[in-house]
């Protein structure tokens, strides 16, 4: 299963309590259609002390957010955009911004 967003893409949250925030995708969970975004959808987890675990107690970390609530931010025009596809002269398929029509 493939998505229009990939790891290390900058995205903007479209809905929810973190609406408007931007961050980089750290992980894409394809089976659940979700992604983890740096600094977005922070939750608190209680972790027991265990050997090998660095931090214990109440730990804040990113929870996954649904892909449909994210919009890719174009690096050229710096706007959240829909993603289109284009074929280059050599036959390679690349992502393109729908606003400025630049390659992403």
Domains (range + CATH), the chain = 10-73 (2.30.30.30), 78-104 (no CATH)
pLDDT computed for residue 55 by the predictor:
86
SS3 84: strand
The token pair that represents 89 in the structure block: 């002269």
Tell me the pLDDT band of 53, cut-offs 50, 70 and 90: confident
- Mean pLDDT score of the chain, rounded to an integer? 94
| Burial status of residue 38 (CB atoms within 10 A of its CB: 0-12, 13-18, 19 or more) | middle
Whose tokens are 């050229």? That residue is 76
pLDDT computed for residue 1 by the predictor:
66
Instruction: Please provide the DSSP assignment of 52-99 as one string.
Output: T-S--EEEEEEPEEEGGGEEEEPTTT-SEE-EEEEE-TTS-EEEEETT
Rg (C-alpha) for the chain, rounded Å, is 17
Q: Residues 46, 53: contact at Cβ < 8 Å?
A: no
**pLDDT of 15 higher than 80:** yes
Q: Residues 34, 24: contact at Cβ < 8 Å?
A: no
pLDDT, mean of residues 94-98 = 94
């Amino acid at each position: 299963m493939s998505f229009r967003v990939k790891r290390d893409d900058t995205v903007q949250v479209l809905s929810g309590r973190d609406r408007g925030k931007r961050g980089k995708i750290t992980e894409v969970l394809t089976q659940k259609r979700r992604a983890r975004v740096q600094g977005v959808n922070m939750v608190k987890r209680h972790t027991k002390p265990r050997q090998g675990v660095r931090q214990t107690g109440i730990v804040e970390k990113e929870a996954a957010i649904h892909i449909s609530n994210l919009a890719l931010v174009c690096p050229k025009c710096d706007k959240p955009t829909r993603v289109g596809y284009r074929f280059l002269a050599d036959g390679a398929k690349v992502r393109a911004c729908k606003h400025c029509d630049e390659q992403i």
